[in-house]
């Protein structure tokens, strides 16, 4: 990591953007300058970084001259507009929105799984969906060992995945309900406090939500294996940070629960927490603020020949977004790829 980089955080006032700044600081990311960008609404606002505050500037078409690396988390339409402009100015973009994920010109990367895909980037690298990232970290070692045929996943996703406004909506609804007051739902179509919504992103013609189809399609692209079948049900739950997922995995080769524990215990980015005799298993409240993907409740599916059930939890804002984005940036530096080819 020799070159000192000018780095822009685009969407620096949002839930993920703020966490990106924290992660850059915590990992001592090499930089000569960090620029905090957001919309015109936020110009002049201050965001904390290291021992100082950064003054937010507006992201415009002229913002990217002299910027080496831009980490975007400012929504899909913003990214669709500004990422190509940034690349034209010679800046490499790592984008956290869904805008570029399925574009054939853009690698979709989880550094523990497919760092080699960075080698063919053309300027824009996509960060996968938060629920997909943690699932990939846990599935990759199993796929390498026993070839995964099918995965049935149900998610329990935190409101922070929707952004800062959703965090505030859950807080407000809880406060109002505890005071006997009626609640208003603005961000979600229904009350989220003390409730579960089987509805993340928009519904599609096939009856699935877009979030569910992201898990299906992104898995194939990241693993580079179109034969893996994934079916998903994505649920928003009244949790602030960390997504939990129940996975049912069918493999070609038989693995015992102990085989899976041993495999995952030595895999990068994973901590196995599976001591049911002591009531120890991954929980959202423990994963929040942490980097790892936690795996527990590992057991054989007794209804099929080669099946494993497990429960995985990871902080959706860190590994699911900000951390994975920064890890992509670090891997670009390691592979000397911080340049537009």
Return the number of the residue (77 or 227) whose C-beta is nearest ligand A2P. 77
Question: Does the protein bind ligand A2P through residue 79 (CB under 6 A)?
Answer: no
DSSP letter for 275, please. B
Asked if 87 is part of the footprint of ligand A2P (rule: CB under 6 A), the reply reads no
Cα-based torsion angle of the residue sequence 279, 282, 284, 288 in order, rounded to the nearest 10 degrees = 120
Identified binder of ligand A2P from the candidate list 74, 106, 137, 295, rule CB under 6 A = 74
Active site residue 130: yes
Q: Is 71 in the site for ligand A2P (CB under 6 A)?
A: no
Scanning 14-22, 88-96, 168-176, 194-202 for contacts with ligand A2P by CB under 6 A, the matching segment is 14-22
Binding residues among 136-175 for ligand A2P as defined by CB under 6 A: 163-165
- Asked if 11 touches ligand A2P (CB under 6 A), the answer is yes
**115 belongs to the binding site for ligand A2P (CB under 6 A):** no
Closest CA to 45 of 21, 78, 77: 21
* DSSP-assigned states of every residue in 241-274: S-EEEEEEEEESS---HHHHHHHHHTSTTEEE--
What does each C-alpha distance from 333 to 36, 67, 211, 216, 280 come to in angstroms?
21, 15, 31, 30, 38
Integer Cα distance of 278 and 312 in angstroms: 18
Q: In whole angstroms, give the CA distance from residue 138 to residue 215.
A: 14
Q: Find the helix or strand (DSSP H, E) in which 168 lies.
A: helix 164-178
Figure out which of the listed residues 41, 52, 266, 278 binds ligand A2P, where binding follows CB under 6 A: 41
143 part of the active site: no
List 10, 91, 130, 234, catalytic entry:
130
Residues annotated as part of the active site: 130, 243
**Which residues bind to ligand A2P, rule: CB under 6 A?**
11-15, 17, 38-39, 41-42, 59, 74-75, 78, 163-165
């Amino acid at each position: 990591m020799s070159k000192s980089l000018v780095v822009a955080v685009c969407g620096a006032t949002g839930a993920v953007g703020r966490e990106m700044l924290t992660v850059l600081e915590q990992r001592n990311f090499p930089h000569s300058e960090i620029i905090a960008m957001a919309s015109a609404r936020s110009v002049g606002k201050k965001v904390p970084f290291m021992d100082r505050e950064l003054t937010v500037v507006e992201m415009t078409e002229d913002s990217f001259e002299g910027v080496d690396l831009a980490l975007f988390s400012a929504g899909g339409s913003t990214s669709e507009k500004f990422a190509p402009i940034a690349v034209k100015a010679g800046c490499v973009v790592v984008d956290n929105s869904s805008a570029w994920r399925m574009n054939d010109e853009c690698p979709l990367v989880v550094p523990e799984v497919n760092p080699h895909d960075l080698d063919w980037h053309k300027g824009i690298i996509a960060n996968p969906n938060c629920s997909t990232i943690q699932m990939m970290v846990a599935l990759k070692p199993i796929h390498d060992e026993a070839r995964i045929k099918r995965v049935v996943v149900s998610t329990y996703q935190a409101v922070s995945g929707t952004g800062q406004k959703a965090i505030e909506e859950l807080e407000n609804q809880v406060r109002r309900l505890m005071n006997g007051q009626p609640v208003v739902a603005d961000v979600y179509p229904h009350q989220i406090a003390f409730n579960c919504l089987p509805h993340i992103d928009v519904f599609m013609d096939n009856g699935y939500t877009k979030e569910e189809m992201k898990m299906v399609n992104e898995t194939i692209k990241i693993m580079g294996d179109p034969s893996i079948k994934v079916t998903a049900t994505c649920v928003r739950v009244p949790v602030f940070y960390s997504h939990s997922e129940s996975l049912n995995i069918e493999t070609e080769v038989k693995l015992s629960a102990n085989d899976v524990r041993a495999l995952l215990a030595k895999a990068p980015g994973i901590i196995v927490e599976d001591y049911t005799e002591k009531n120890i298993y991954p929980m959202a409240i423990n994963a929040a603020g942490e980097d790892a993907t936690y795996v527990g409740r590992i057991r054989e599916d007794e209804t099929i020949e080669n099946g494993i059930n497990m429960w995985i939890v990871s902080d959706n804002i860190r590994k699911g977004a900000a951390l994975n984005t920064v890890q992509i940036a670090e891997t670009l530096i390691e592979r000397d790829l911080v340049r537009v080819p």
